[in-house]
């Protein structure tokens, strides 16, 4: 796989899965725009690492759920890197609680960041991709968007929404050379999952046929393929990276 000459914007790239995607795409030759919400130190360190790999890089602070931020971030990416070929909508949050205790703001914030954020950034990005008649978009959903989970009604709804959104735009932009796919990770070891209690984690591990939790790189490797020209004929698909947890 070779992404030399391609430019990629990865949302929520300061940590976890987004960071792994940024490093992997850079290792394949892409120039990278790193988006983050508040972790400027992590973003700057990642930018330095990617610079050392010989790639162009820009770190952009933006809240993906804010329409102005989303537009400015895409503009800044194109200004810094010259174009925008690849978008990975990865930024995401959880605000888990049982439905009966879920506050309006817990619902709204998770939907706004996880689902509306992907809509806003994609809308800004496809304007550039359509002109080039080329684009690769990967949206990060979750197996929870397919299976549902106790205490995650807001998160599951946002991640199920990502799937319907992605299939719609895969159809809408296929004739423009823009391929859109979804990755549904299972349990990946990042800050998002580090706070879960040990008994819960053990119960999950027992359900994973491959016998280990996922690593951010497991997701990044699939993302690298999906955004490359080796992916010529896959669009509108949801691919699980979950060690076989949900078949």
Ligand X SMILES: NC(=O)c1ccc[n+]([C@@H]2O[C@H](COP(=O)([O-])OP(=O)(O)OC[C@H]3O[C@@H](n4cnc5c(N)ncnc54)[C@H](OP(=O)(O)O)[C@@H]3O)[C@@H](O)[C@H]2O)c1
90 contacts ligand X (rule: CB under 6 A):
yes
Considering only 3, 8, 11, 124, the residue that binds ligand X (CB under 6 A) is: 11
161 contacts ligand X (rule: CB under 6 A):
no
- For ligand X, which is the closer residue by CB, 134 or 246? 246
Task: Point out which span in 122-130, 184-192, 198-206, 226-234 binds ligand X (CB under 6 A).
Answer: 184-192
Active-site position among 155, 200, 213, 233 = 155
CB of 199 to ligand X, least distance (A): 17
Rounded-to-integer distance, Cα 190 and Cα 27, Å:
21
Considering only 113, 124, 137, 226, the residue that binds ligand X (CB under 6 A) is: 113
Residue 155 a catalytic site member: yes
CB of 176 to ligand X, least distance (A): 25
135 contacts ligand X (rule: CB under 6 A):
no
CB of 23 to ligand X, least distance (A): 13
Task: Point out which span in 5-13, 46-54, 127-135, 172-180 binds ligand X (CB under 6 A).
Answer: 5-13
Considering only 93, 205, 208, 239, the residue that binds ligand X (CB under 6 A) is: 93
16 contacts ligand X (rule: CB under 6 A):
yes
Task: Point out which span in 61-69, 99-107, 126-134, 224-232 binds ligand X (CB under 6 A).
Answer: 61-69
92 contacts ligand X (rule: CB under 6 A):
yes
- State phi, psi for 9 to the nearest 5 degrees: -110, 125
Give CA angle at 109 (238, 227), nearest 5°: 30
35 contacts ligand X (rule: CB under 6 A):
yes
From the list 33, 25, 34, 32, the residue with the least C-alpha distance to 3 is 25
206 token code pair? 């027992």
Show which residues are catalytic.
155
Interface residue list for ligand X (CB under 6 A)? 11-18, 35-39, 42, 63-65, 90-93, 113, 140, 142, 185, 187-188, 190-193
């Amino acid at each position: 796989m070779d992404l030399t000459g391609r430019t990629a914007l990865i949302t929520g790239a300061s940590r976890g899965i987004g960071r792994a995607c940024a490093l992997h795409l850079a290792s394949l030759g892409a120039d990278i725009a790193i988006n983050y919400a508040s972790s400027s130190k992590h973003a700057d360190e990642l930018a330095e690492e990617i610079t050392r790999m010989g790639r162009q890089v820009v770190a952009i602070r933006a809240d993906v759920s804010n329409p102005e931020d989303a537009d400015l971030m895409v503009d800044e990416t194109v200004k810094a890197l010259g174009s925008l070929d690849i978008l990975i909508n990865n930024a995401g949050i959880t605000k888990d609680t049982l439905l009966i205790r879920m506050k309006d703001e817990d619902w709204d914030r998770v939907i706004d960041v996880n689902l509306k954020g992907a809509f806003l950034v994609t809308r800004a990005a496809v304007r550039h991709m359509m002109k080039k008649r080329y684009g690769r978009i990967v949206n990060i959903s979750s197996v929870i968007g397919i299976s549902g989970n106790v205490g995650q009604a807001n998160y599951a709804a946002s991640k199920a929404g990502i799937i319907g959104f992605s299939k719609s735009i895969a159809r809408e932009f296929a004739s423009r050379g823009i391929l859109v796919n979804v990755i549904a990770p299972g349990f990946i070891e990042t800050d998002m999952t580090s706070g879960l209690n040990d008994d819960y984690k053990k119960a999950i591990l027992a359900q994973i046929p491959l016998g280990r939790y996922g690593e951010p790189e497991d997701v990044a490797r699939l993302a690298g393929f999906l955004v490359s020209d080796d992916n010529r004929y896959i669009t509108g698909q949801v691919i699980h990276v979950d060690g076989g947890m949900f078949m």
